[in-house]
Every structure is written in C-alpha cells, then in structure tokens.
C-alpha cells in the first residue's frame, strides 16, 4: 500500500477535488474516515469529524468578524503578497504576510471550499517551498536558524497540507515534506539545540539583508531566548514537523525527541500557580506555538504527561485575572505590564478548558478571548460549560508578585493592578507601578507600544519616568541599554505585606533593591497601597536616602492615546479626566532634612503638570508629577478617588478628604473609609475601620 493510499484511508483528504456541494464533500470525507479509522490517523490539527464544528465556529458571534475579514480578502491576495516578498526579500515583514495570509485562506477553504482558492493555495505552496530558506537568523554567519519565520511557515504549510488533502499531488507532497524537513525542521532543530547547548553556538546574528533590523548583539541570545516565549515557536514547529515526517525522513525521531524535551523545558517557565512572567501577550504567543504540537503529540503518541507538567487551572485563572474590561472597540482590555498588548486566543482557552474540565474556561474564552488566529476556528467551543470566576479571584497576588484587585468582571468595574516582583524578558523599569481603570476608563495608564529597538525614541517609554511610579533624584530605577534587546534587567521589588479583606485590600512593596543599583543613596523605597473598593486608593510612598538629600517625584499618567486625557493641578490637589471618568488626587507630605528635625507642611510635596519627554510622533503623554524638594526622608501620601463622568464632567461631587498626621501615624478619612497607616517601618501597620 502506498503512502498516498494510507493518507486516503486515514482521512487526510478533506476537501476533495470536486465542484460538488458541501454535503457531497462531507459525505465523501466521512466515508474515508470510517474506512481508515481515527486510531490510524496521522492528522495534526483536526479530525474530519471536526469540520462541521469548525464551520459552525466561523458563524459564532465571537469569531464571525474575524472569519468574514479573511473570507472577504481576494483569492489573489496571497499570490500578491508572494509577489511583493519575492521582489523585496523581506522575510521579517513580507514573508510573514505570505504565511499568515496562506493560513487564513486555507481556513476559508476549509469552511467554504472552492476550486479557485484551492489552485491559488497550491500555487503559493509551490512558490514557498521553492524559496532557498525561510528565516533570517544565522549561526556563525552561514547556518540557518528557525526562530520565528521558519517555524511559522512550517506550521502553516502543514495546516494547508492537511486542509488540501488529495488536492496536493503525490509529487508535490513529497517536495513539500522535503522542504519542511530542510527549511523548517532542520533550522528549528539547530535553534533548539543551541538553546539547550549555548556554549556550542558560533554566534547568532541576522543575515546580510536583515542586518539592520535591530541594533543588538546576540552573543547571549541562545541562552536568553531559550528561557522565554521564543523557545516555544521553534519547539512547536519542530515537533509538528517531526510528527508529519515520520516514515518520510530518518531524522524525524531525533527531531521529535528534541521537541518533546524542549517543550518540557518551556513549560517549566510557567509559575506553579499558572502565571507567566512575560505577561499575557507572550503567554498567548507561547500557547499558539506550543499547543498545536502538544495537542497532536497527545493524540498521536500519548507517551508524555503534558497536562501534569503545568497548572492548567491556574493558567486559566491567570488569563482571567489579567483582564481589564473592554477596549473602546469592544475587544478584551488587559493588564498590559511590560510589552503585553493583547489577550489570549479564545481557541487556546477553550482547549485548556477541555483538558482540565475547568468551566471558567468557557467564561474566559468569551470574556477574555482575543480572536486573531486559525487556532480559534479549530479549538473554540462556544457551548462549553461556563462558570464565572470564583470570588477569591477578585483580589489576586500571583507567584510573580503582581497584584490585581477588582470590584467585578464587567467593563465598568474598577481594576487596580500593581507591579512588584523580579526582572523578566520584555519587562519595563516599572517596579511599584500602578494601573487603575474605573468606570470604563484607564485613569492611571500603562502605555502601550514601547519600542523594541533602542534606536527609536519610543524606547524611552520603557523607563520608570513613563510609569505611575517614583523617581529619586530625577531618575527611576535602572533599565537596560538595549544592546541585547528587551531581555531582563537586575531590578527587583518584593511584597513585604499583603492583606486581603475583600472590599478592602492593602500591601507594601519594597523596590529598594532596584533603585540602589544606580543610586547608592536610595536606602529604602517603599510603596504602600490601600484600595477601598470601588473608588478610593491611598498610596504612601516612603523614600529614605543616606548621606545626601535628594528630590522625589511621583508620576501619574492618564490614557491619552485618543487625545482625551486631561490633567490639571490646583495647589496640593490634582485632577485627571477622561470622557467617562474623573480621578481626583490630594497630596500630603512629611520630610526630614539634614538636621533630622521633622518638618510637616501640608503640600510640601506639590503636584505639577508634566509629560514624558518624547517626540510627538511617538505620542503625547501628559501626567501629573508630584514633586518633593530634596530631603533625606520622604513620606508622601496621595489620596485618589474616582467618579463616573459624562464628557469629562463628573456625575457626582468628590468625597471629602481629611488627613491628620501625628509623628509617623497618618489618619485618613475619605468617603466611608477610615484608616490609619503607621509609617517608617519595614511593614507599615494599617488599620481600617
């Protein structure tokens, strides 16, 4: 029996070369499945029996717009993209457009088969496999590595192969598998090998054409990338390719073993509670690139307990707790610490839910899902059992020492997020940074879109000065110079205390270890936060200097991406306005000078209007900056209250604020909150009544 006959018997023929009705196609495909039997299948992405579910997914409210956008693209679009790539040779942008467009067109072909689209896909497959290589990374100047583009091409070619089935001739299929082996798996294997054995790498770099893409040195990149999300892409592609090449290429077993080992190493990067150190976008990327392999390997090999290697329930909860309502266009908004921009694929969430049986996944897929990928059509389960998040998730301190506290899960609910913890790839200089969203508005914002390249002015968006955090002597805590990209720094912060009392929660974070790296005088930098839901936040910043008095500045940034963020200052008070919400701030301070005589003057630290110093083409980032003159010891209390608004005008009066201080004891009354904070201790004592 030939390989072609085996494929036919095992159900690899999806959309047979016919102009018949969809019902005829389904009947023929179902017959081939029944003949071959699912247990003999070598299918990677889906079974024939899944096709009705996939087609139904294309019409669901969550995925309809995405699918319609793909279906509306001209059939010639992928060929046009290939023309552009062949002209430019730009693998970073133009080849990516080709392989992504091919996968989208292939999914449309699965849902709505047509001869014209089939021919267009076959043509672009032939043109892709004719290319001499699929990636722009090199080791030692000559060996081709497969980090992103080769891995993407491998996965998407295998998807198109599975969808087109017998429309691919036996000769073309052999060429395709050979190309996947040589231009996909071999470079991906070389990449994974260097990650596992960085001492053997001869020097990673870009090829000559792409040499100016980033201004970086890659001397440590095998080690750096081996411990972040970019391990997942070549690993997942290598594993899928090895599964497809079984019986076709003698190297398949070795490649599969390497992919399994690398996949296991990657899963160890996920914290025991399911949180992920690079943030939500990069968890999404990792799931999109690893789950197809894990899912296929579980079905076809079944000799690895993948589900026992990671806390799947915790991962689903992490995805949900990192939500921040909705964006203006109705998409999932997220706690976007560092470079994170978007939420997780709903298909990936659904697949995780199917593994664990966790009914939160049914809720999270709809509430937190960000549909953009072909996996969504394959894996999304709109009718999965669904349960809302458990009450304990309203206040969450995860293993990363990130704190997210909220009033609920609706778009208008208040969400306060706090960044403590250690360094990580894609991080910013943002220890003790606060993000606050209330009444549907990002009143204290974490800016999106910081540059990845140090040569760009947007690199400055990564510094402490671009965050709702503390500057000492005009400087934040240290960051990277960018010579190795966006890798981790040496900045640490640690949560000293965390108290969860339901509607009132507070904590203290010590960022001294971060600030002292570049400022010997920064003896102690503490931030204590008390959140009285839904609209009151107290922030006490304590900065203790040794030997030399220094200034302290505290920045508060609204969202101004649409130009509708407003800041205003009046004496010791300030206001941040967005169209649908207002934040009022009141500032009190106590400072100790060189004589060690305590001076207490309400308003000693004064707010002023400032902005991030970047060119206008990067963005306009106005902020309130609370400035305290040079002193050895600073205590700055900021009382924040939020209110709903219409066109920037608050719907109700701000609550009265009263603050009294005796020695180091601060007593605060605001609205219904009564609280005291005993300062200048390593764990400030807080009492709420």
Extract the tokens encoding 649: 């005008």
In terms of Cα–Cα distance, which of 142, 235, 130, 232 is closest to 178? 130
CA distance 454 to 482: 5
pLDDT band of residue 6 (cuts 50, 70, 90) is very low
Least confident of 385-389, 521-525, 590-594, 660-664: 590-594
d(CA 387, CA 384): 10
Confidence of residue 519 (pLDDT cuts 50, 70, 90): very high
Query: What DSSP line would sit under 67-106, residue for residue?
Result: HHHHHHS-TTHHHHHHHHHHHH--IIIIIHHHHHHHHHHH
Distance CA 296, CA 499 (A): 43
Predicted confidence (pLDDT) at residue 603 exceeds the cutoff of 50:
no
Partners of 495 in beta bridges: 509
Q: Minimal CA–CA distance to 461: which of 484, 479, 439, 443?
A: 479
* HEC sequence for 293-317: HHHHHHHHCCCCCHHHHCCHHHHHH
54/401 Cα distance (integer angstroms): 39
How many residues in the chain? 689
3-state secondary structure 119-144: HHHHHHHHHHHHCCCCCCEEECCCEE
Q: What pLDDT is recorded for position 682?
A: 80
Q: What is the mean pLDDT of residues 197-202?
A: 96
Look-up of token digits 């719907």: 651
Smallest Cα–Cα separation from 319: which of 420, 423, 430, 404? Answer: 404
pLDDT at 15 over 60: no
Question: Residue 12 has what pLDDT?
Answer: 32
CA angle 653, 657, 659 (to 5 degrees): 175
Q: How far apart are CA 493 and CA 509, in angstroms?
A: 7
Whole-angstrom Cα distance, residue 244 to residue 510?
51
Dihedral sign for Cα atoms in the order 172, 177, 181, 184: positive
Sheet holding 550-556, edge to edge: 470-472, 550-556, 622-631, 606-611
Q: How many CB atoms lie within 10 A of CB 449?
A: 13
> Residue 650 — very low, low, confident or very high, per pLDDT cuts 50/70/90?
confident
Residue 406 bridge partners (DSSP): 415
In whole angstroms, give the CA distance from residue 117 to residue 599. 77
Question: Bridge partners of 434?
Answer: 418
Give the Cα separation of 135 and 230 in Å (integer): 14
- SS3 state of residue 235: helix
The confidence score (pLDDT) of residue 591 equals 74
Phi-psi domain of 331 (left: phi exceeds 0; alpha: psi -120 through 50; beta: other): beta
Does 51 have pLDDT greater than 70? yes
What torsion do the CA atoms of 607, 609, 611, 613 make, to the nearest 10 degrees? -90
Among 17-26, 90-99, 222-231, 360-369, the range scoring the smallest mean pLDDT is 17-26
- Per the structure block, which two tokens stand in for 292? 């197809």
Per the model's pLDDT, the better-predicted residue between 648 and 585 turns out to be: 585
Q: Is the pLDDT of residue 26 over 90?
A: no
Query: Does the pLDDT value for residue 14 go beyond 90?
Result: no
Per DSSP, the three-state class of 258 is helix
Residue with tokens 């059939």, as numbered in its chain: 75
Token pair 């073309």 is at which residue? 172
pLDDT tens figures, 240-297? 999 999 999 999 999 999 999 999 999 999 999 999 999 999 999 999 999 999 999 9
Q: What is the mean pLDDT of residues 307-327?
A: 98
Instruction: State pLDDT tens for residues 372-383.
Output: 999 999 999 999
Question: Radius of gyration of the chain from Cα atoms?
Answer: 28
Any idea what DSSP says for residue 344? B
Could you tell me if 264 and 308 are in contact, meaning their C-beta atoms sit under 8 angstroms apart? no
State pTM to two decimals: 0.92
Looking at residue 327, its pLDDT comes to 96
Contacts by residues 358-361 (CB-CB < 8 Å, ≥ 24 positions apart): 358/312, 358/313, 358/316, 359/384, 359/385, 359/386, 359/387, 360/313, 360/316, 360/317, 360/320, 360/387, 360/388, 360/389, 360/390, 361/316
Domain 392-688: CATH class, spelled out: mainly beta
If pLDDT is split at 50, 70 and 90, which confidence band does 689 have?
confident
pLDDT value at residue 593: 60
- Select from 282, 127, 150, 285 the least CA-distant residue to 207: 150
Please tell me whether residue 550 adopts helix, strand or coil conformation: strand
The whole-number pLDDT of residue 373 equals 96
Per-residue pLDDT at 82? 98
Q: Give the orientation angle of helix 186-196 with respect to helix 252-267, to 10 degrees.
A: 50
CB distance 15 to 167 below 8 Å? yes
Task: Quote the CA–CA distance of 486 and 462 in Å, as a whole number.
Answer: 10
Say what the pLDDT of residue 680 is: 80
Q: What is the average pLDDT across 662-674?
A: 95
Whether residue 364 contacts residue 320, with contact meaning beta carbons closer than 8 Å, is answered with yes
Domain residue ranges of the chain, discontinuous segments joined by +: 46-269, 273-389, 392-688
Cα–Cα–Cα angle for 97, 103, 105, nearest 5°? 95
Q: How do residues 388-426 score in pLDDT, each as one tens digit? A: 999 999 999 999 999 999 999 999 999 999 999 999 999
pLDDT tens-digit readout, 319-347: 999 999 999 999 999 999 999 999 999 99
Over residues 652-656, mean pLDDT? 92
Contact between 139 and 221 under an 8 Å Cβ cutoff? The reply is: no
Can you tell me the mean pLDDT for 163-168? 97
């Amino acid at each position: 029996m030939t390989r072609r006959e085996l494929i036919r018997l095992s159900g690899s023929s999806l959309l047979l070369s016919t102009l018949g009705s969809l019902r005829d196609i389904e009947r023929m495909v179902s017959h081939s499945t029944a003949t071959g039997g699912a247990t003999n299948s070598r299918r990677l992405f889906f079974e024939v029996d899944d096709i009705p579910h996939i087609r139904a997914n294309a019409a669901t409210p969550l995925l309809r717009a995405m699918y319609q956008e793909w279906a509306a693209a001209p059939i010639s679009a992928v060929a046009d993209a290939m023309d552009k790539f062949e002209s430019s040779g730009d693998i970073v942008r133009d080849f990516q457009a080709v392989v992504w467009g091919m996968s989208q067109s292939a999914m449309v072909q699965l849902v709505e088969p047509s001869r014209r689209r089939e021919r267009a896909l076959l043509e672009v497959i032939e043109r892709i496999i004719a290319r001499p290589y699929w990636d722009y990374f090199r080791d030692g100047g000559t060996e081709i590595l497969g980090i992103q583009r080769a891995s993407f091409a491998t996965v998407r070619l295998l998807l198109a192969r599975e969808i087109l089935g017998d429309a691919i001739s036996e000769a073309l299929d052999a060429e395709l598998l050979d190309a996947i082996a040589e231009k996909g798996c071999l470079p991906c294997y070389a990449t994974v090998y260097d990650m596992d054995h960085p001492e053997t790498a001869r020097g990673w770099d870009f090829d000559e054409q792409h040499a100016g893409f980033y201004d970086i040195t890659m001397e440590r990149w095998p080690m750096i990338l081996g411990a972040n999300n970019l391990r997942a892409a070549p690993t997942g592609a290598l594993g899928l390719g090895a599964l497809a090449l079984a019986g076709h290429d003698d190297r398949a077993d070795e490649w599969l073993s390497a992919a399994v080992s690398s996949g296991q190493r990657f899963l160890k990067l996920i914290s025991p509670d399911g949180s992920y150190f690079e943030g939500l976008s990069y968890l999404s990327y990792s799931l999109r690139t690893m789950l197809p392999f894990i899912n296929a390997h579980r079905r076809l090999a079944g000799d690895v307990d993948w589900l026992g290697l990671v806390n799947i329930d915790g991962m689903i909860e992490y995805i949900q707790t990192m939500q921040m309502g909705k964006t203006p266009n109705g998409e999932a908004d997220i706690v976007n610490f560092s470079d994170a921009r978007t939420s997780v694929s709903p298909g990936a969430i659904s697949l995780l839910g199917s593994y664990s049986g966790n009914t939160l996944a049914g809720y999270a897929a709809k509430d937190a899902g960000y549909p953009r990928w072909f996996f969504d059509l394959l894996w999304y389960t709109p009718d999965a059992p669904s349960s809302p998040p458990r009450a304990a998730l309203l206040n969450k301190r995860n293993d990363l020492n990130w704190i997210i506290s909220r009033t609920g899960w609706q778009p208008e609910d208040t969400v306060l997020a706090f960044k403590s913890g250690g360094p990580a790839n894609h991080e910013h200089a943002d220890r003790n940074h606060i993000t606050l969203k209330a009444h549907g508005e990002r009143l204290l914002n974490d800016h999106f879109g910081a540059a990845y390249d140090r040569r760009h002015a947007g690199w400055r968006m990564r510094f402490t000065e671009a965050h709702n955090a503390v500057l000492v002597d005009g400087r934040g805590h240290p960051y990277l110079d960018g010579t190795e990209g966006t890798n981790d720094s040496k900045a640490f912060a640690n949560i000293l205390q965390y108290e969860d009392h339901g509607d009132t929660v507070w904590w203290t974070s010590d960022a001294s270890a971060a600030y002292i790296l570049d400022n010997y005088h920064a003896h102690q930098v503490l931030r204590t936060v008390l959140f009285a839901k839904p609209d009151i936040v107290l922030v006490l910043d304590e900065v203790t200097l040794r030997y030399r008095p220094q200034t302290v500045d505290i920045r508060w940034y609204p969202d101004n991406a649409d130009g509708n963020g407003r800041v205003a200052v009046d004496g010791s008070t300030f206001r941040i306005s967005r169209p649908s919400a207002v934040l009022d701030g009141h500032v009190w301070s106590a400072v100790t000078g060189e004589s060690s005589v305590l001076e207490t003057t309400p308003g000693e630290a004064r707010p002023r209007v400032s902005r991030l110093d970047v060119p206008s083409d990067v963005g306009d980032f106005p902020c309130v900056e609370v400035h305290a003159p040079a002193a050895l010891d600073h205590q700055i209390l900021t009382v924040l209250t939020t209110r709903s608004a219409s066109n920037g005008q608050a719907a109700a009066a701000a609550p009265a604020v009263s603050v009294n201080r005796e020695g180091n004891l601060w007593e605060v009354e605001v609205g219904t909150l009564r609280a005291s904070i005993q300062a200048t201790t390593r764990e400030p004592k807080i009492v709420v009544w």
